[in-house]
Amino acid sequence: MSVSTLEQAPAPATAGKSPGRRAWIRFRSNRIAMLALVLLGAINIAAVFAPVLAPYPPNAMSIRERLQPPSIKHPLGTDENGRDMLSRLLYGARISLSVGLAAVVFAVFLGAIVGGAAGFAGGITDSVLMRVTDGMLSVPIFFFMITTLALFGATLGNIILVIGATSWMSVARIVRGEVLRNREMPYVEAARSLGAGPLYILFRHVLPQSWPAIIVSATLGIGWAILMESSLSFLGLGVQPPDSSWGNMLAKARGYMWNAPLLAFIPGFAIFLTVLLYNWLGDGLRDALDPTST
């Protein structure tokens, strides 16, 4: 290839733009990730505005209308107690999504502290914290969740804590790797030479460089947390009636699988779709935030 051909080659679309702008351009070009973002936005907005969008109170019963198929009056039909399925689905989304988001926030906070301290301090601190992390990874997590909730009660706060307390380990390992990569960078040495303390350097200069990896991990973790809450609720150790979540709606539908399959399909599909969308979004963010991408 001649020099003139090289000189005339078009510059990449992201050339000359800020890192954030380049990441957005890469993300926007990923159609699956954009579709996931739009649909998740719609699902979360519907959950926030459930009191406005729900056609009926979620616990309003009408025995005469039990197990009704979809109709104009009840777009998704009714359950075994005559409650409107659309209303319960919207209110269930509020709980399922809230548990997922809150548990991931807790897991990210704990994982960032453990991983940041391990990677920045090194030595015995690193060894101890990473062995604790490895030990937690070897625990049968679902059995631990069931035992903890059976002992301390299946309250909403306990559900969030137990899911968050069993999902921080991957965040800790990711943050540790990022901190090990960044702690010897020139800007860290410059901060040390100016007299900055270890904690200031860690929280002001090193941990912020880990945010892209943390965001991707958190996005993927939300889907996992929603699955865990749904599984616990399905077993009767999650959100308790009369409050609705997608998991306990699915549990109640077990006895009506043959004569009213929509009772199980509707919350099951909601769980499947939401988890799938969060995974698509996480994959898109991972590709967009990759600094080696063009």
Domain for residue 133, yes or no? yes
Nearest alpha-carbon partner for 93 in 284, 249, 213, 282: 249
Domain for residue 259, yes or no? yes
pLDDT of residue 110: 92
List the chain pLDDT tens, one digit each, 294 residues: 444 444 454 445 555 566 667 878 888 888 999 999 999 999 999 999 999 998 988 888 888 888 888 889 888 888 888 898 999 999 999 988 998 899 999 999 999 899 888 888 888 988 999 999 988 888 888 888 888 888 888 888 889 999 998 888 988 998 888 888 887 777 777 877 777 777 777 777 777 778 888 888 888 888 899 888 888 888 888 777 778 888 888 888 888 888 888 888 999 999 999 999 999 998 888 888 765 555
Domain for residue 27, yes or no? no
Residue 180: domain span: 39-59+73-289
pLDDT of residue 32: 92
The dihedral through the CA atoms of 117, 157, 271, 28 has a sign that is negative
Domain for residue 3, yes or no? no
Residue whose pair of structure tokens reads 């999504």 in the numeric block: 97
The count of domains in the chain is: 1
Structure tokens at 280: 């698509």
Domain for residue 231, yes or no? yes
The Cα-based distances of 83 to 188, 198, 234 in angstroms read: 60, 57, 19
pLDDT of residue 275: 92
Domain for residue 24, yes or no? no
Distance separating alpha carbons of residues 109 and 132, to the nearest angstrom: 17
- CATH number for the domain that contains residue 276: 1.10.3720.10
pLDDT of residue 11: 47
Distance separating alpha carbons of residues 245 and 95, to the nearest angstrom: 6
Domain for residue 10, yes or no? no
Q: Are 65 and 74 in contact (CB under 8 A)?
A: yes
pLDDT of residue 7: 47
Domain for residue 67, yes or no? no
